[in-house]
Amino acid sequence: MTADQTFYGPDFGALQAQDPEIAGVLLSELDRVRSGLQLIASENLTSPAVLAALGSTLSNKYAEGYPGRRYYGGCSEVDKAESIGIERAKRLFGADHANLQPHSGASANQAVYGAFCQPGDTILAMSLPHGGHLTHGTKVSFSGKWFNAVHYGVNKDTEDIDYDQVRDLAREHKPKVIVAGGSAIPRLIDFQFFREVADEVGAIFWVDAAHFIGLVAGQAIPSPVPYADVVTFTTHKVLRGPRGGALVCKEEHAAKLDKAVFPMMQGGPLMHAIAAKAVNLGECLRPEYQTYARQVIANAQQLAASLGEKGIRPITGGTDTHLSLHDLQGVGVTGKDAEARSDAAGIVLNKNAIPFDPQPPNTASGIRVGTPSVTTQGMGTEQMKVIADLIHRAVTQTDGDPDHPVAKDVRAEVGDLVSRFPAYPRG
């Protein structure tokens, strides 16, 4: 087998013999990741150790319940894996309690609603067009169908969270739960402010830290854990773990949240994924992870600034985190076109609505860029300046045709860059 084939382990030959069609997809996806710039803010490159746990025999085990309290026999070994992961999560985040069973961030969020809300209760969260998340009361989501969602947004001048509006809406609507966090918020969130507002109106304070929890793990930004009743997150973004969800909470809410995860919202946990989460959490406890987390932010700040210099304006003027949101109106391109043009040039990013966007969401006036993957590959601030130039040329000088001369030039330069900072180095 080639080096690319052996990357998937000693059993890849069996997969190739039994199902060459799917084996080919695995190899072509590895090639796709290696050959382009991965700038999706919600993606990262897990370690081979995490991938090994995901592909393990723990995938076979049914383990409804929790360690020491299962509904099936034969759980002695998976109990060990989950217990190790729980203790690592508590240590990493300084939390009273952790639950690693949610299948996704949305599943973890669903458990919060299950623990603290009844259908029809009022929740207060950030609106999706201003940077929130689907599961924070958007009408197309279960959360918007089951609960009375009231939304705050950003201040039109600062483009950051309108904290006065948060307080005013909380006082007016007396929500059961107040949510902080979202999918496109470049600035730090004032968790102490939200805590004070929640206490004033008698609400549960929940932080959805899916996007930035990896920066918290790396001690690169302040933690919401001391302030929040519950913090939910995904494990596959900056945190650099397997695709999945988790939550940490105060001890007083532990039993209620555990019951909301299982048996209320989920059945059997994915034990191979929980083992992979444990591996990842162990990686996050190492000093080198903190270096990586700080570099993610430095890279994001440099990329945002360099794009701004080229007329692709960063919302809020920059970023404090791993992502930046950019307004394309100054260069006369929609987010939809920018995404397609970048993709044709070997650059993977996503269109994104900006606050007060005149375009519909599927077109959008902005793009969102993130630095977790390229930082994992070893790139630094000098490379971010190069990437900003490549994005600018792709967005403003091409038309989405991979054969466009400028697209071909940019793609060749992308290839040279990633060859010097490879994803999953060969051999």
Catalytic residue of the set 88, 187, 195, 237: 237
Please tell me the distance from the alpha carbon of residue 332 to that of residue 244, in angstroms, as a whole number: 37
Q: Which two tokens stand for residue 381?
A: 């601030």
Active site residue 158: no
DSSP E strand stretches across 209-341: 230-234, 245-249, 313-314, 323-327
Q: Do residues 366 and 353 make contact, with C-beta atoms less than 8 angstroms apart?
A: yes
Active site residue 208: yes
Active site residue 289: no
Residues in Cβ contact with 297 at an 8 Å cutoff, skipping those fewer than 6 apart? 215, 220, 221, 319, 320, 321, 322
Catalytic residue of the set 4, 43, 62, 294: 62
Known binder of ligand: residue 134?
yes
Peptide bond just before 222 cis, omega within 30 deg: no
DSSP E strand stretches across 159-298: 177-180, 204-208, 230-234, 245-249
Known binder of ligand: residue 257?
no
Catalytic residue of the set 234, 321, 371, 376: 234
Please tell me the distance from the alpha carbon of residue 389 to that of residue 392, in angstroms, as a whole number: 5
Active site residue 240: no
Active site residue 237: yes
Catalytic residue of the set 90, 167, 174, 243: 243
Catalytic residue of the set 43, 64, 96, 343: 64
Catalytic residue of the set 82, 162, 208, 337: 208
Q: 3-state class of 28 per DSSP?
A: helix
Active site residue 29: no
Please tell me the distance from the alpha carbon of residue 98 to that of residue 88, in angstroms, as a whole number: 9
Known binder of ligand: residue 132?
yes
Binding site as annotated, residues for (6S)-5,6,7,8-tetrahydrofolate: 128, 132-134, 251
Task: Just list the catalytic residues.
Answer: 62, 64, 208, 234, 237, 243
Binding site as annotated, residues: 128, 132-134, 251
